[in-house]
């Protein structure tokens, strides 16, 4: 299974290009899923069909899906509310458990929801040859892509401290035989400690996503237009990807016209500079007005991902 | 009175004396380690819930996932914050300085 992420500034055409890419891959016989993780979905508009939050079949090999970020967020919130209510079960006696529902409004839940969908898709949808992701504009995409890495760093640090705590508790237990404090049974073994177990679980989850993002089977493509505004934003994407050690595989200079050749040359030179040789660069001509905002494009987008 | 009773009582006294001494020594031996554990538990929660104390915190969902299992550690943080203004005596206590 190969994955392709289309990133770029809002309005450069990453949704249409990702749609074109998915369609062309499907036409070539590859079983392809086009999944939008942009909260403002427009896959349905591009294919002029109704696309649900579940996968829907568009043609023999092409499946479309607009991820339900609200649902992913509420599933996550509900899970935590359930655990909290279970641990603090006495709150039910006063009907206070309903107050935990305020967690729904925690900041960062949207990024978490996107990450959850990404993780579940990578784990479950292995029977596709290609999964093409249509992503939200730069800022949010970079935050989503950074999340596994940030989480791993944090969890690593927390695990190290937890390990020290458990080792010291073990020493105390060995010398005094004591294993509880004020009625709390204090775990001293990693296998016994719920916190360590949870940290390990979170760590494994994000390592899997990070490995998949960094792996050979993943491609990240940046879409830009021959203008300086999209150039500056694309440079920020490249810097962000560099910081995360995520490889850029392709760059699409979209909506290209011959009259913009000088600007296009300069934008490509500035954007890719020394990296130019490693990245597949393609100029995608501006499509005629009647075919704009659809998946139909004569330009072969899939060339970059072979 | 059984002539062996005083002997038995003495033996029992010595036994309980030795057991008390043993416990005392063991507790003394781990005193510093217990202080260290408390500090580490305190640090663990402060790092995890940095947003409470105004320091950079991990992504909120990591804190939220671990929160239900941290009742003991949160109590430690509470107690630690009560004695935070008197760090010197806390430290003296740890090192058994009177």
Does residue A179 surpass a pLDDT of 90?
Answer: no
| Predicted pLDDT at A197 | 95
A72 touches chain B (CB under 8 A): no
State the pLDDT at residue A239: 85
Cβ-Cβ contacts under 8 Å, A184 against chain B? 71-72
User: Residue range A45-58: average pLDDT?
Assistant: 84
pLDDT exceeds 70 at position A102: no
- Report the 10 Å Cβ neighbour count for A87: 14
The ranges assigned to domains in chain A are 2-67+108-157+202-305
Q: How many domains does chain B have?
A: 1
User: Strand A130-134 to strand A2-8: parallel, antiparallel, or no bridges (unpaired)?
Assistant: parallel
| Burial grade of A45 (CB within 10 A; 0-12, 13-18, 19 or more) | middle
Could you tell me which chain A residue has the CA closest to the CA of B48? A158
CATH architecture of A2-67+108-157+202-305: 3-Layer(aba) Sandwich (3.40)
Range of the domain at B58: 5-94
pLDDT of res. A248: 86
Q: Who wins on pLDDT, A74 or A209?
A: A209
Whether the CB-CB separation of B48 and A151 falls below 8 Å is answered with: no
Q: Which residue of A has its CA nearest to B30?
A: A172
CA–CA gap between residue A209 and residue A35 (Å, rounded) = 16
Calculate what percentage of chain A has a pLDDT beyond 70.
Answer: 89
pLDDT on residue A98:
60
Chain A residues with CB inside 8 Å of B23's CB? 176
pLDDT at A105: 64
Question: Can you tell me the mean pLDDT for A117-133?
Answer: 90
Q: Which of A14-18, A180-184, B18-22 has the lowest mean pLDDT?
A: A180-184
- Asked if residue B81 has pLDDT above 70, the reply is yes
pLDDT recorded at residue A195: 92
Nearest CB to A162; choose among B29, B36, B44: B44
Can you tell me the distance from the alpha carbon of A214 to that of A146, in angstroms, rounded to the nearest whole number?
Answer: 12
Residues 6 or more apart in contact with residue B68 via CB below 8 angstroms: A80, A83, A84, A86, A87
The string of pLDDT tens digits covering residues A223-272 is 988 888 888 888 888 888 888 888 888 888 888 888 888 887 877 777 77
| Residue A251 neighbours by CB distance under 10 Å | 26
* Residue A102 per-residue DSSP state: G
Count Cα neighbours of B59 within 13 Å in the Cβ-side half-sphere.
25
Q: What is the ipTM of this complex?
A: 0.77
């Amino acid at each position: 299974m190969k994955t392709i992420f289309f990133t770029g500034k809002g309005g450069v055409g990453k949704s249409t290009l990702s749609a074109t890419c998915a369609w062309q891959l499907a036409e070539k016989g590859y079983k392809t899923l086009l999944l939008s993780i942009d909260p403002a979905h427009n896959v349905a508009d591009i294919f002029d069909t109704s696309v649900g939050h579940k996968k829907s079949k568009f043609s023999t090999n092409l499946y479309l899906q607009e991820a339900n970020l609200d649902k992913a967020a509420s599933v996550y919130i509900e899970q935590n509310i359930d655990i909290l209510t279970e641990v603090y079960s006495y709150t039910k006696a006063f009907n206070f458990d309903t107050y935990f529902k305020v967690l729904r409004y925690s900041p960062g839940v949207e990024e978490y929801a996107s990450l959850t969908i990404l993780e579940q898709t990578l784990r479950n949808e292995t029977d596709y040859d290609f999964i093409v992701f249509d992503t939200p504009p730069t800022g949010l995409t970079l935050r989503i892509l950074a999340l596994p890495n940030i989480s791993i760093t944090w969890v690593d640090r927390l695990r190290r401290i937890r390990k020290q705590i458990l080792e010291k508790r073990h020493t105390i237990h060995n010398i005094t035989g004591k294993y509880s404090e004020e009625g709390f049974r204090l775990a001293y073994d990693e296998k016994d400690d719920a916190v360590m177990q949870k940290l390990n679980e979170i760590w494994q989850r994000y390592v899997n996503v990070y490995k998949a993002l960094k792996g050979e089977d993943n491609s990240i493509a940046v879409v830009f237009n021959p203008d300086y505004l999209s150039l500056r934003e694309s440079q920020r994407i490249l810097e962000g990807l560099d910081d995360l050690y995520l490889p850029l595989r392709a760059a699409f200079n979209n909506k290209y016209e011959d009259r913009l050749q000088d600007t296009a040359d300069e934008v490509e030179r500035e954007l890719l500079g020394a990296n130019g040789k490693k990245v597949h660069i393609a100029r995608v001509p501006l499509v005629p007005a009647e075919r704009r905002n659809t998946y139909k494009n004569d330009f072969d987008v899939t060339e970059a991902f072979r | 009175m059984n002539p062996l009773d005083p002997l038995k009582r003495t033996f029992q006294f010595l036994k309980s004396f030795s057991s008390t001494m043993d416990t005392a020594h063991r507790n003394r031996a781990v005193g510093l380690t217990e202080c260290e554990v408390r500090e580490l538990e305190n640090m663990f929660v402060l790092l995890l819930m940095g947003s409470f104390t105004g320091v950079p915190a991990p992504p909120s969902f990591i804190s939220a996932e671990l929160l239900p299992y941290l009742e003991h550690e949160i109590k430690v943080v509470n107690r630690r914050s009560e004695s935070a203004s008197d760090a010197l005596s806390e430290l003296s206590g740890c090192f058994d300085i009177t």
